[in-house]
Amino acid sequence: MLSYRKELWFDVPGRRAFINITPQVEQVLAESRIREGLALVNAMHITASVFINDDESGLHSDYEAWLEKLAPHEPLSHYNHNRTGEDNGDAHLKRQVMGREVVVAVTQGKLDFGPWEQIFYGEFDGGRRKRVLIKIIGE
- Residue 51's pLDDT is 98
Nearest to 134, CA basis, from 45, 38, 55: 38
pLDDT tens string 75-99: 999 999 999 999 999 999 999 999 9
What residues are paired with 9 via a beta bridge?
131
- Residue 12's pLDDT is 95
- Rounded Cα gap, residues 60 and 8, in angstroms: 21
- Residue 105's pLDDT is 98
- Rounded Cα gap, residues 137 and 106, in angstroms: 9
Q: Give the pLDDT mean for 64-69.
A: 97
- Rounded Cα gap, residues 87 and 25, in angstroms: 31
The CB density around residue 13, as the number of other CB atoms within 10 Å, is 9
What residues are paired with 136 via a beta bridge?
4, 39
Q: Where are the domains of the chain?
A: 2-138
- Rounded Cα gap, residues 17 and 1, in angstroms: 36
- The pLDDT-based confidence of 7 (bands split at 50, 70, 90) is very high
Q: Give the pLDDT mean for 43-67.
A: 97
**What's the chain's length in residues?**
139
- Residue 54's pLDDT is 97
**CATH architecture of the region 2-138:** Sandwich (2.60)
Nearest to 39, CA basis, from 17, 63, 22, 59: 22
Q: The pTM is what?
A: 0.95
One-letter amino acid identity for 82? N
